[in-house]
Amino acid sequence: MPGATDAKPTKPLKNPCNLCQSVRAILKRPKTGQQLCKECFFHVFETEIHNTIVDNKLFNKGDRVAIGASGGKDSTVLAYVMKLLNDRYSYGLDLVLLSIDEGITGYRDDSLETVKRNRDQYQIPLLIVSYKDLYGWSMDDIVKEIGRKNNCTFCGVFRRQALDRGAIMLNVDHIVTGHNADDIAETVLMNILRGDLPRLQRCTSIITNDTSEDSSGIETSKILRSKPFKYTYEKEIVMYAYFKKLDYFSTECIYSPNAYRGHARVFLKDLEAVRRTAIVDIIHSGEALSASVQANESTKLPTMANCTRCGYISSNELCKACLLLEGLNKGLPQLGIGHTTKIRRMAEAANLASGLSSPASLSSSAASGAAEENIKVVTHIKDLGQLETMPSLDSV
């Protein structure tokens, strides 16, 4: 063991902090290799996020901002830091917590308990929006119907819309999410591997707005989304939560093996082991690629319009959530999974035959009484009035 004998921890200040020089370091920063003591780490971590917020002009004074909160490490640290920076630097933000209840027994119900504790600990009001209320189907229901294959497709599509719907109910200007640098680098890799240029663009921007590049002038959502942790490493988020003793929930979703992301993640960690800057390098290359996509006019990105059924932003006549719901309610859950264009054509042909305008006519292809009952809620978000009956804002 090289040097082991002359490096006993009893020796005073074996590893002094690179900043204050006077306290033992407790963390080696993945970004820089710098070693920091606890207090200097807290200061640097918080200040970098503050700088990200200020440099990118994420907020305006008086903005009402929803923090997408799952109870996991990233969103718990985000809620804590947003509250702290809002107070410390007088951002003047009106903060609320927004959680999505996918309806996954033994997973989301437990993590929502964590969010409720965060609500009390940080004194931030909380709204929970459920798939069951929005779409008529919980993830437990969906998995019962379709099995464990492809259920993540439903969950992902539904979650994105659910967050927007929740934000509308809360009347917020902005949603912040806890995506960190490691998550973004993984997503860049996955989008490159799939050749998904629109998503590649979206995933690297620190701030997005569904309508910002929409020349059609149709607006569904003016709600901004941003990622204040875009340059924050996962290791530092976890260490921050550990040293601050923040209360977070850490169980993997019971339905999600998420194998593809898992491989991207391991690959990324292996790259990082041989090249410290791998994560920022990959984020940078994602940004460079999307800049060149934007510059190259011959690369057609889908034009955004609105879903004819629910009005949500969509590049097709029916948005993905309505397509998936139609499949569920007709007892044809494959609808919307796999080769979308082909299946859309099938769906459109089926609708021409049965008449698209009337949801009740959908029952012609699914005769059971249970299907009939589900059809009552097929219009999901079309009925914004129905949302009034959603759980009211659960204030502290």
Partner 1 sequence: MSQSNTTLRIELQFSGGMELLFDNQKTIHAKVPAFFPLDDSAEEKHAATIRDLISWTASNLLKERPELFIGADGSVRSGILVLVNGADWELEGELDYELEDRDEIVFISTLHGG
66 is in an annotated binding site: no
Among 18, 19, 23, 26, binds partner 1 (CB under 8 A): 26
Nearest CA to 95 among 122, 76, 116? 122
**Residue 36: helix, strand or coil by DSSP?**
strand
241 is in an annotated binding site: no
15 in contact with partner 1 (CB under 8 A): yes
Among 25-33, 81-89, 90-98, 194-202, the segment contacting partner 1 (CB under 8 A): 25-33
178 is in an annotated binding site: yes
> Residues binding partner 1: what is the number (CB under 8 A)?
39
72 in contact with partner 1 (CB under 8 A): yes
* Minimum separation from the CB atom of position 25 to partner 1 (A): 6
Q: What is the dihedral of CA 45, 49, 55, 59, to 10 degrees?
A: -160
Residue 377 to residue 325: CA distance in whole angstroms: 10
Nearest CA to 230 among 202, 255, 199, 253? 202
Residue 184 to residue 187: CA distance in whole angstroms: 5
User: Do the bridges between strand 224-226 and strand 207-209 make them parallel or antiparallel, or are there none, so unpaired?
Assistant: antiparallel
73 in contact with partner 1 (CB under 8 A): yes
* DSSP annotation of 302: P
Backbone φ, ψ for residue 68 (5° rounding): -65, 115
Pick between residue 4 and residue 367 the one whose CB is nearest to partner 1: 4
369 in contact with partner 1 (CB under 8 A): no
Q: Which residues contact 249 (CB under 8 A, 6 or more apart)?
A: 70, 71, 72, 76, 110, 111, 113, 114
Per-residue contact flags (x/-) with partner 1 for residues 180 to 199, judged by CB under 8 A? x--x----------------
> Cα 43 vs. chain centroid, distance in angstroms?
26
70 is in an annotated binding site: yes
Among 52, 58, 66, 70, binds partner 1 (CB under 8 A): 70
Query: Is residue 48 within 8 Å of residue 56, measured between CB atoms?
Result: no
Residue ranges in 77-136 that form contacts with partner 1 under rule CB under 8 A: none
242 in contact with partner 1 (CB under 8 A): yes
Residue indicated by tokens 């609500």 = 119
Per-residue contact flags (x/-) with partner 1 for residues 247 to 286, judged by CB under 8 A? ---xxxx--x--------xx--xx--x-------------
Structure tokens at 12: 């005073």
Pick between residue 159 and residue 309 the one whose CB is nearest to partner 1: 159
Nearest CA to 181 among 276, 247, 43, 97? 276
Pick between residue 243 and residue 365 the one whose CB is nearest to partner 1: 243
Q: Which residues are annotated as a binding site for ATP?
A: 68-70, 74, 100, 178, 183
Binding residues for partner 1, rule: CB under 8 A, are 1-4, 7-9, 15, 24-28, 35, 70, 72-75, 178-180, 183, 234-235, 237-239, 242, 250-253, 256, 265-266, 269-270, 273
